[in-house]
Amino acid sequence: MNKRFSPEPHSSRKSDLLRIGIIGFGARGEAITRAATKDLNIEWRGVSEVYESRLEKGVAIAGKNARGHKHYLDLLDHDDIDAVIIATPDHWHAKMAIDAASRGKHIYLEKCMTRTVDEAIALRDAVRQSGVVFQLGHQGRQRDLNHKAKELIGNGTIGKITLIETTTNRNDSPGGWSITGERSASLESVDWELFEGPVSGRSGFSQERYYGWRGYWDYGTGMSGDLFSNEYDAVNSILGLGIPGSAIASGGIYYHQDGREVPDVFQAAFEYPHRQLTLLYSGTLASGIPRGTLFMGRDATLELGRSLTVWADKNSSKYKSRIESAMMDPSTPFIRYDKEHIEVDAISSPTSKYYADRGLVDTYSEGVRRNTTQLHLAEWLYCIRNGGITSCNIDRGFEEAVSSHMATKAFREGRKVHWDAENEIII
């Protein structure tokens, strides 16, 4: 949608009811299901999950009209399902979404959109051809402060931007993608061949791989696809950067020596020659110190974290007279928005704090505190019912996927990569 989505009370008419299935009922799938169950006028008709106990829990939460399926195609083949939510590991995203599109099912897909550029192209083409409504699960697009940042940058408050720095800092076991808590999955309770799917046969059943799939290239997209993608999409929603011209990346496994393959410290630089700016990303899974996103302009710098602040640059020509007359102090923010300051108690995990800092849990919509995932789902459902384009549609998803994969390829091959827009390949 072209402007910020504002949820409206749904109609109680029978025709407005949408019948939904969910594929993948891990922690994220459960969170989405709980967010979608309230006030969205939907009915759960199916749950698909390869792990028996999670499937049983999913059906129990979804309710009496939801059927349980081990194989996702059994869910997709039901005519009484209008739309699906896909919350599986990354290596299944493209295949499942393409199969859903071919059956005319509207799609809400968790990030990273795909594992490869080829998958991103295939999914984009399938969605365009099918005409289904697609939403990628970057719920940060519903964040109030992000919209305020877009407004301030758009009206010239900070001047020409040449450098953006965005970050991820997490320092707990979930943040480090280590196995914690319940570890009851076994070869008897998990359909391992179906879990592995496209990479089936490469390894025998492994709890490390099942619970910590993000740490392995067979299933995940590393810090670039899993964490940078959040930060990239937030910046892209504010500036409309699109796909970078080039990317370089570095990092390594510096702390979590647990058999993983993907780095736990990662940094990348993306060049946008057509915009004359650079986007820098740095992230660590071994430090929880909060760092906001910095938009560095010629006249001021905007920092976007749990709050939004703007500092004038001491050499700004735009604010020169006000600085010289002491009406403006460059060491003190001259714009500050704190209304989204949502407290995270002292016992919350660093990952919870990270989500709160990035507006990935709650925001304020028309003065009311709202769950961002619920707002993002509501926008998707609104477009299904009424037409229109979702804020994180397939084109924005394609930009997210390619940008993430450029950084991953640069890291894994140890070289600078470029995007060939005409042929749609990384070179």
Is 282 strand, coil or helix? strand
Asked if residue 221 and residue 338 are part of one domain, the reply reads: yes
Q: What is the CATH number of the domain that holds 335?
A: 3.30.360.10
Amino acid letter for position 261: E
Q: How many helices (H) and strands (E) does the chain have?
A: 14, 18
How far apart CA 191 and CA 53 sit, in angstroms, is 12
Overall average pLDDT of the 375-387 stretch = 96
Q: What is the CATH number of the domain that holds 379?
A: 3.40.50.720
pLDDT value of position 178: 79
Asked if residue 72 and residue 21 are part of one domain, the reply reads: yes
Asked if residue 321 and residue 176 are part of one domain, the reply reads: yes
Q: How many Cα atoms are found within 13 Å in the side-chain-facing hemisphere of 375?
A: 25
pLDDT value of position 123: 98
The pLDDT > 90 percentage for the chain reads: 82
Write down the H helix ranges in 363-427: 372-386, 394-413
How far apart CA 249 and CA 236 sit, in angstroms, is 19
The answer to whether residue 311 sits within a structural domain is yes
The answer to whether residue 4 sits within a structural domain is no
**Which one-letter DSSP state was computed for residue 9?**
P
Asked if residue 124 and residue 105 are part of one domain, the reply reads: yes
Condensed to tens digits (0 to 9), the pLDDT of residues 322-364 reads 999 999 999 999 999 986 444 444 444 445 555 555 555 656 6
114 against 202, higher pLDDT: 114
The answer to whether residue 204 sits within a structural domain is yes
Beta bridge partners of 278: 163, 271
How far apart CA 314 and CA 308 sit, in angstroms, is 19
pLDDT value of position 13: 38
Condensed to tens digits (0 to 9), the pLDDT of residues 40-85 reads 999 999 999 999 999 999 999 999 999 999 999 999 999 999 999 9
Q: Which of 69, 66, 87, 79 is nearest to 135 (CA)?
A: 87
Asked if residue 180 and residue 133 are part of one domain, the reply reads: no
pLDDT value of position 353: 52
Asked if residue 130 and residue 151 are part of one domain, the reply reads: no
Asked if residue 361 and residue 248 are part of one domain, the reply reads: yes
The answer to whether residue 271 sits within a structural domain is yes
Q: Which of 223, 228, 282, 249 is nearest to 412 (CA)?
A: 249
pLDDT value of position 183: 83
Q: Which domain does 290 fall in, by range?
A: 144-365+405-426
Sorting pLDDT into bands at 50, 70 and 90, what band is 204? confident
pLDDT value of position 203: 82
How far apart CA 418 and CA 410 sit, in angstroms, is 9
How far apart CA 34 and CA 62 sit, in angstroms, is 9
Tokens 């990662």 found at: 266
**Which one-letter DSSP state was computed for residue 190?**
B
Q: Which of 350, 281, 340, 282 is nearest to 309 (CA)?
A: 340
Asked if residue 422 and residue 321 are part of one domain, the reply reads: yes
The pLDDT > 70 percentage for the chain reads: 89
CA 330 to chain centre: 34
Asked if residue 231 and residue 112 are part of one domain, the reply reads: no
Asked if residue 313 and residue 199 are part of one domain, the reply reads: yes
Asked if residue 92 and residue 81 are part of one domain, the reply reads: yes
Asked if residue 409 and residue 384 are part of one domain, the reply reads: no
The answer to whether residue 5 sits within a structural domain is no
Q: Which of 93, 134, 84, 132 is nearest to 111 (CA)?
A: 93
The answer to whether residue 132 sits within a structural domain is yes
**Which one-letter DSSP state was computed for residue 98?**
H
117-130 helix and 93-102 helix, angle to the nearest 10 degrees: 20
pLDDT value of position 202: 77
The answer to whether residue 339 sits within a structural domain is yes
The answer to whether residue 116 sits within a structural domain is yes
Q: How many domains in the chain?
A: 2
